């Protein structure tokens, strides 16, 4: 099974302020290694040898030996789903592990997605509240709804929660698309206007796929080390070792 990896690294990450004045957010270092190189290591240790990077801001800084580039020349006018679509040649032909570029995780997170048989799957942290309490005074201020059926199918994602009961896990930004899963994502996108396509966030795409009911979105739980670097405060915390201890 030839599984490919796609890292979405087109954006600048303006909320990181001075950290991204001269580099994309994924080149910020954590414990001596950039987020991008951490992702490449995790993917390859899990057996994903063919990796592509969707570039945009400061593209010349992102390329690595043996990595394929997919460039989003409209990176400052579009979103992550539009960036992912730049890798359509792979998505239409191969199983692809898709990773946001501002996260870190262990190879076991990738391995779990590879072994999953679903056409469309996402990793999630069932113990998300431990991390979000470190990141936010009010964890619900940054949380989105995340609900699962008893068989692991997603029933809701990406809406504003009214209570912790509506958040059964935290979507990590690590996904699995088969060609069938990508065809369904493309079908959903084609029903939207160009303006809606450019504004469509990944969780909102997933919610539309869930509501369409043609391809189930499966949640794959993960309890290892991971984190999302969305602000300088996140980086400071992770540099102090405040992410969850390794399992």
Question: Is residue 247 a contact partner of residue 223, using CB atoms and an 8 Å limit?
Answer: yes
Phi, psi of 63 (to 5 degrees): -75, 145
Question: Is residue 243 a contact partner of residue 225, using CB atoms and an 8 Å limit?
Answer: yes
- The rounded distance, in Å, linking the Cα atoms of 21 and 12 is 9
Per-residue model confidence (pLDDT) at position 132: 87
Strand partners, 54: 8, 70
Tens-level pLDDT at each residue, the chain (247 residues) = 689 999 999 988 777 777 888 899 999 998 889 999 999 999 999 999 999 999 999 999 999 999 999 999 999 888 999 999 999 999 999 999 999 999 999 999 999 999 999 999 999 999 999 888 888 889 999 899 999 999 999 999 999 999 999 999 999 999 999 999 999 999 999 999 988 998 899 999 999 999 999 999 999 999 999 999 988 888 888 888 745 433 3
Per-residue model confidence (pLDDT) at position 246: 39
76: its two tokens: 């400052």
Predicted TM-score (pTM) of the model is 0.93
- Name the nearest CA neighbour of 122 among 55, 181, 198: 181
Phi, psi of 87 (to 5 degrees): -100, 30
Question: Is residue 29 a contact partner of residue 11, using CB atoms and an 8 Å limit?
Answer: no
Phi, psi of 67 (to 5 degrees): -105, 140
Query: Tokens 């730049």, residue?
Result: 86
Is 197 buried (19+), middle (13-18) or exposed (0-12) by CB count in 10 A?
middle
Per-residue model confidence (pLDDT) at position 245: 38
Domains of the chain: 3-239 (3.90.550.10)
Round to the nearest angstrom and report the end-to-end CA distance of the chain. 28
């Amino acid at each position: 099974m030839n599984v490919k990896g796609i890292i979405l690294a087109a954006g600048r990450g303006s909320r990181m302020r001075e950290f991204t004045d001269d580099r994309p957010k994924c080149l910020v270092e954590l414990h001596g290694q950039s987020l991008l190189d951490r992702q490449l290591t995790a993917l390859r240790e899990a057996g994903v040898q063919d990796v592509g990077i969707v570039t945009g801001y400061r593209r010349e800084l992102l390329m690595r030996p043996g990595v394929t580039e997919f460039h989003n020349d409209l990176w400052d006018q579009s979103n992550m789903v539009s960036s992912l679509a730049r890798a359509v040649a792979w998505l239409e032909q191969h199983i692809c592990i898709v990773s946001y570029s501002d996260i870190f995780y262990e190879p076991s997170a990738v391995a779990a997605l590879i072994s999953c048989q679903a056409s469309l799957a996402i990793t999630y942290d069932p113990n998300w509240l431990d991390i979000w309490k470190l990141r936010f005074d009010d964890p619900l201020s940054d949380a989105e709804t995340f609900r699962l059926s008893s068989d692991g199918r997603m029933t809701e994602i990406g809406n504003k929660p009214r209570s912790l009961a509506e958040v059964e896990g935290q979507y990590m930004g690590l996904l699995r698309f088969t060609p069938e899963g990508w065809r369904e994502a493309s079908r959903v996108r084609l029903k939207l206007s160009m303006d809606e396509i450019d504004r469509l966030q990944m969780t909102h795409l997933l919610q539309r796929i869930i509501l369409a009911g043609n391809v189930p979105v499966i949640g794959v739980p993960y309890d290892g080390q991971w984190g999302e670097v969305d602000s300088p405060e996140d980086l400071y915390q992770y540099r102090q070792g405040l992410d969850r201890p390794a399992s």
